[in-house]
Amino acid sequence: MKKILQDLSYAEMEGLVLSLGEKKFRAKQLYEGLTQGKTIDGITSLSKAFKEKLLEVYENQPVKISETFYAQDGTEKYLFELADGNLVEGVLMKYKYGYTQCVSTQVGCRMGCKFCASTLGGLVRNLTAGEILSQILVVNALHKKDAEGDGKTARAVTNIVLMGSGEPLDNYDEVVKFLKNVTAEEGARISARNISLSTCGIVPKMYRLADEGIPLNLTVSLHATSDEDRVRTMPVAKAYKIEEILKACAYYFQKTGRRYYFEYTLIDGENCDEEHAKALVALLKGKPCHVNLIRLNEVKERELKSISDKAAYRFLGVLEKGGLSATLRRQIGVEIGGACGQLRASYIEEKR
């Protein structure tokens, strides 16, 4: 596989351009072109000779949209093809305040959560920072007409969630590099405050992230109120206890001043009785956090079942009565395989 130009920061691109004997301002043209989702080939302000030199070493288009699926509610789901033929998926959700894109950080995942489709075939490989970024750049280009702002700085995607396939903190260095590049003034300029990173709770990396000083929204997939319960659906619970996760969250708040989030997927017979809701209140009461309840997207390879809307609202009611800040996430794009890894899994199966 060739190298990926979108991995580079603006400063690195300036260095590259100079090393190839071009004037420094070419870096600006190159960076702007790539930020607009163009291929190297498609950047008209650069000379053919320079582009040919670049193309000897770098991928012309590291991420392509190979399929798009449309849901009734406007949600779009993409299957992205990487240069080596691997597939990852992404979702675009349209809200009044802007577009939120869900991106993948790994091909597959090795965390093994029992309810999740991304983990069915294990981890294939990490994505590079530029492959994560390119998912956003191509979608921005696709929705150019919906962009906010004007001219070259216009962007359609205003918010990002790292909740596609993969465990972001298991690909720490590339993810942090991506975060720096996507928030950079010269680049896509997405505010870190509009970015949510979701982790299954890799505690040492949560501390490291707090120390990076990137003011993003940290989200932890909790899905249980005790370690014994948690380990049934999340093998990572063997390595890190809920208590340690909560300490790392407190450190995150102390360092960044930002409240943190928990995701709690409601799984029938597993974690959503009244006693679980009460235990969740006891665990999180008084902490600067918010709980997002998610209805399980049933994955056909898995036996776990979702609960009724009524039961989900009842669970929410107990949390609210207990004084927690909590919401039940609107279910979007279910008919297009909204859940993590579902689309890729069914697509690969079909092709076989």
Which residues are catalytically annotated? 89, 340
Closer to ligand SAH by CB, 22 or 131: give it: 131
Q: Does 340 bind ligand SAH (CB under 6 A)?
A: yes
Give the integer Cα–Cα distance in Å for 132 and 145.
Answer: 22
Cα–Cα distances in angstroms (integers) from residue 225 to residues 90, 180, 197, 263, 303, in the given order: 29, 34, 21, 12, 21
**Which member of 199, 217, 225, 271 binds ligand SAH (CB under 6 A)?**
199
Contact 271, 293 (CB under 8 A): no
Give which of 305, 283, 291, 232 is closest to 263, Cα–Cα: 291
106-108 and 195-199 beta bridge pairing? unpaired
Provide the 3-class DSSP secondary structure of residue 333: coil
The runs of H, that is alpha helices, within 307-341 are 309-321
In this chain, which stretch among 59-67, 108-116, 224-232, 314-322 interacts with ligand SAH, using CB under 6 A?
108-116
CB of 234 to ligand SAH, least distance (A): 8
Q: Which residues contact 304 (CB under 8 A, 6 or more apart)?
A: 114, 115, 233, 267, 268, 270, 296, 298
Q: Following DSSP, what letter does each residue of 66-108 receive, concatenated?
A: EEEEE-TTS-EEEEEEETTS-EEEEEEEEETTEEEEE--SEEE
Rg (CA), the chain: 21
63-70 and 76-82 beta bridge pairing? antiparallel
Q: Does 345 bind ligand SAH (CB under 6 A)?
A: no
CB of 21 to ligand SAH, least distance (A): 43
Provide the 3-class DSSP secondary structure of residue 55: helix
Q: Does 103 bind ligand SAH (CB under 6 A)?
A: no
CB of 76 to ligand SAH, least distance (A): 18
**Which member of 82, 92, 299, 307 binds ligand SAH (CB under 6 A)?**
299
Residues in contact with ligand SAH, shown as a per-residue x/- string from 129 to 158 under the rule CB under 6 A = ------------------------------
Q: Does 296 bind ligand SAH (CB under 6 A)?
A: yes
Interaxial angle between packed helices 203-212 and 172-183, expressed in degrees from 0 to 180 and rounded to the nearest 10: 30
**Which member of 82, 136, 192, 200 binds ligand SAH (CB under 6 A)?**
200
- Written as one letter, the residue type at 302 is R
**Which member of 128, 198, 217, 256 binds ligand SAH (CB under 6 A)?**
198
CB of 285 to ligand SAH, least distance (A): 21
Which residues from 154-193 bind ligand SAH, rule CB under 6 A? Answer: 163, 167
Number of residues that bind ligand SAH (CB under 6 A): 18
Which residues from 255-274 bind ligand SAH, rule CB under 6 A? Answer: 263, 265
Closer to ligand SAH by CB, 209 or 339: give it: 339
CB of 139 to ligand SAH, least distance (A): 18
Closer to ligand SAH by CB, 40 or 222: give it: 222
| DSSP classification of residue 215 | -
Closer to ligand SAH by CB, 6 or 119: give it: 119
Give contact residues for ligand SAH (rule: CB under 6 A).
111, 113, 115-116, 163, 167, 198-200, 221, 263, 265, 294, 296-297, 299, 339-340
